[in-house]
Amino acid sequence: EAGVAQSPRYKIIEKRQSVAFWCNPISGHATLYWYQQILGQGPKLLIQFQNNGVVDDSQLPKDRFSAERLKGVDSTLKIQPAKLEDSAVYLCASSSSSYNEQFFGPGTRLTVL
């Protein structure tokens, strides 16, 4: 089966600019996650969707981050405006509703200058 797809793979922006990331989960996976992985740390959940509804966004900095999952498939994560501390790898993962294994995409490496 095809894996989780993400784009772009790399992005360099200036602080205060905006950026958007895209994720296409494994076909049929109802649950989609966005994680932030800062260098040297484990992934940290930003937001979790079940179909196109938000399950958990308690750790999403809502003053600058937003995410949506239209039609319960693809998802976009946006940062506006970006800060230096947003430099990280943004990982998208998906899982089916019946089993908890999460499959990760290759990630988007964001550098904020």
Partner 1 sequence: GENVEQHPSTLSVQEGDSAVIKCTYSDSASNYFPWYKQELGKRPQLIIDIRSNVGEKKDQRIAVTLNKTAKHFSLHITETQPEDSAVYFCAASMESGYALNFGKGTSLLVTP
Neighbours of 100 (CB within 10 A): 8
Tokens of 83: 């800060």
Nearer to partner 1, 18 or 97 (CB): 97
Taking the least distance from each CB to partner 1, the nearer of 33 and 65 is 33
Shorter beta-carbon distance to partner 1: residue 73 or 81? 73
State which of residues 80, 97, 111, 113 lies at the interface with partner 1 (CB under 8 A): 97
Asked whether position 87 contacts partner 1 by CB under 8 A, the answer is: no
Each residue 58-77 as x (binds partner 1 by CB under 8 A) or -, in order, gives --------------------
CA distance 76 to 18: 13
Neighbours of 55 (CB within 10 A): 12
According to the binding rule CB under 8 A, does residue 53 interact with partner 1? Answer: no
Rounded Cα–Cα distance for residues 57 and 65 (Å): 10
| Site pattern 23..42 for partner 1 (x: CB under 8 A) | --------x-x------xxx
Give CA–CA dist 82/75, Å, rounded.
19
E strand or H helix at 13, and its extent? strand 10-13
Please give the residue ranges that form the binding site for partner 1 (CB under 8 A).
Answer: 31, 33, 40-45, 48, 50, 55-56, 91, 95, 97-107
